[in-house]
Structure 1
Amino acid sequence: MTQQPTTAPIPWTTIGMVVAWYGSNIGVLLLNKYLLTNYGFKYPIFLTLCHMTACTLFSYIAIALMKVVPLQTVKSKVQFAKISGLSVVFCFSVVCGNVSLRYLPVSFNQAIGATTPFFTAVFAFFIIKKREAWLTYTTLIPVVTGVIIASGGEPSFHLFGFIMCITATAARAFKSVLQEILLSSEGERLNSMNLLLYMAPIAVTCLLPATLIMEENVVGITIDLARKDVKLIWYLFFNSSLAYFVNLTNFLVTKHTSALTLQVLGNAKGAVAVVVSILMFKNPVSLMGMVGYALTVLGVILYSEAKKRYS
């Protein structure tokens, strides 16, 4: 009598990492929304500057002091220039995403963000001539169709917020393709934690003048607001810390699970964020909007399956 193979149970540490990843990712998203709309802190560039400053500090502590991962050095000026280019695109995407949260509910923001695979496929096709199977491209139709339906049925639709969110999503996709081009050689590859260690301070140097020019006297205004309500300082600190832990937990989950598991978890995370945001902010949601978002998520799942099968 042959014994049937048993599936190894998922370690509690892995479950804990996934929960931490979900919590930090959804937490920073909801807290961004709360600060930028409900709380009235209307400074998305300064908020992003806080995030990147925290990422700079925590990355140094985690890698240089705590040795969470081995330190990878930048080996040439050319490699540094490539990392700087990635940092600018990354920074631009985060700023646009934060700006969009001033005008759009989190649920609609996540529906648009789910179209990242569409933009990635488009950029990969035109920039690096990477072609996928036709079935893979076909699965992108419900991804885009779902967002169109969700846009038509969104009670809180705002054109400028929609443009900013689409821009942020496209910029994220462009960064991933750019990263594949710029850091493609084995000697230049950096893990995500080391890449963040070098990108974050570059982002700070870009965001600082942008904040001072575009959000005039934001530091003085923040200090005045903090004097009236000291909780603002704690909100900013906790929010910025979460922004770093999103990257840390994403790295750890990637390390302890498969790429496919990460895709499935990522799709589910967006749906969880939508439900939690609707419960928290009570934003109106139409049936058409929910159908559109569900169609987009279905398209992303089909796209992931097609990529796995034909790549």
Structure 2
Amino acid sequence: MSRLFNVCLIASWYSSNIGVLLLNKYLLSSYGFKYPIFLTLCHMMACSLLSYIAISWLKIVPLQTIRSRWQFLKISALGVIFCSSVVTGNVSLRYLPVSFNQAVGATTPFFTAVFAYLLTFRREGWLTYVTLIPVVAGCVIASGGEPGFHLFGFLMCIGATAARALKSVVQGILLSSEGEKLHSMNLLMYMAPVAVLVLVPAAFFMERDVVGITISLARDDTKFIFYLLFNSSLAYFVNLTNFLVTKHTSALTLQVLGNAKGAVAVVISILIFQNPVSVTGIFGYSITVTGVFLYSEAKKRSRSN
């Protein structure tokens, strides 16, 4: 029974992670809803509401309170970085195919290592740094062979990848003391409203009349409301299933699944969106994925030593 539960949990993790990515692409590109900031705002509002319900009502994890103004400021800083990573990621999906988006996103370990060194002066073993060479080289090769390459989309994707890495490093620095450590679900509950406060003025100033356009689309096509609500809910369930998979299996399992998720998302997106791919692009992405796997192994060995 436990094994069946874990299988269902992993299937849910894959479905939510890949589902939100593909639905974001569909809404922003194929459907023609060209408002990534407002879409991210919907995601963050859903995360705020569903996090509160899950923790305060359903008691999925114990509620942790913010203990000081300084801790609140730290969480707010993380919320802004978190928000930036999601917005730039969604903007990139307007211009880039999911397959290339995932190839660039796979370079996260490189940015994590860079920020860890710049902010904490923490050095990894030489073997760990060597494994980052194919991670970056593969991305460069994939970029050169990408038929749908778009410079602005590429820069946004790099920005999203760097912001994700920065958040993980900054989180380790700011919330490292025992008194300030927050459970991932509690952290999301506090970060999401901060992101909403940032995104509301950004959406209204940078995406003029987006509310009116959204209402008009909903009147013309009732399915659009379902797409938006389902997509926003999926954004929360990505975080929920991340937590549940780690809780019922291990962080290592989540890492392995994450490495495989990109490849699965690439295959499914190509089948759905029929975007052209080149042999060079596939070769470059394969090198990056291999580099990520080697990086994970090198990190494991350095920890055991």
* CA apart distance, 1:64: 0.3
State the distance in 2 between where 1:306 and 1:260 align: 13
Out of 19, 25, 31, the residue aligned to residue 11 of structure 2 is 19
State the distance in 1 between where 2:104 and 2:295 align: 16
Structure 1 counterpart of 2:268: 276
The structure with the largest helix share of the pair is 2
SS in 1 for 2:176: coil
Out of 170, 180, 185, the residue aligned to residue 188 of structure 1 is 180
Structure 2 counterpart of 1:36: 28
Trace 1:141-156 onto structure 2 (pairs within 5 A). 141-156=133-148
| Alignment-mate amino acid for residue 302 of structure 2 | Y
| Alignment-mate amino acid for residue 81 of structure 2 | V
Out of 211, 221, 230, the residue aligned to residue 203 of structure 2 is 211
State the distance in 2 between where 1:103 and 1:275 align: 19
Tell me the C-alpha RMSD between the 2 structures: 0.9
TM-score w.r.t. the length of structure 2 is: 0.98
* CA apart distance, 1:115: 0.3
Out of 225, 231, 238, the residue aligned to residue 230 of structure 2 is 238
Shifted more, 236-245 versus 254-263: the winner is 254-263
Percent of aligned positions that are identical: 73
Deviations 1:233-268 (A, max 9, x none): 110000000000000000001111222222111101
* CA apart distance, 1:10: 6.8
State the distance in 2 between where 1:59 and 1:281 align: 32
State the distance in 2 between where 1:125 and 1:14 align: 36
Structure 2 counterpart of 1:100: 92
- Number of residue pairs aligned between Structure 1 and Structure 2: 303
| Alignment-mate amino acid for residue 109 of structure 2 | P
Structure 2 counterpart of 1:58: 50
Structure 1 counterpart of 2:151: 159
* CA apart distance, 1:57: 0.6
Out of 102, 119, 122, the residue aligned to residue 114 of structure 2 is 122
Out of 103, 111, 118, the residue aligned to residue 111 of structure 1 is 103
Q: Which runs of 5+ in 2 are unaligned?
A: none
State the distance in 2 between where 1:60 and 1:263 align: 27
Deviations 1:176-226 (A, max 9, x none): 000000000011111110000100111111100100100011000110111
State the distance in 2 between where 1:11 and 1:189 align: 31
Q: Which runs of 5+ in 1 are unaligned?
A: 1-8
State the distance in 2 between where 1:197 and 1:258 align: 23
Structure 1 counterpart of 2:166: 174
TM-score w.r.t. the length of structure 1 is: 0.96
Out of 224, 246, 249, the residue aligned to residue 257 of structure 1 is 249
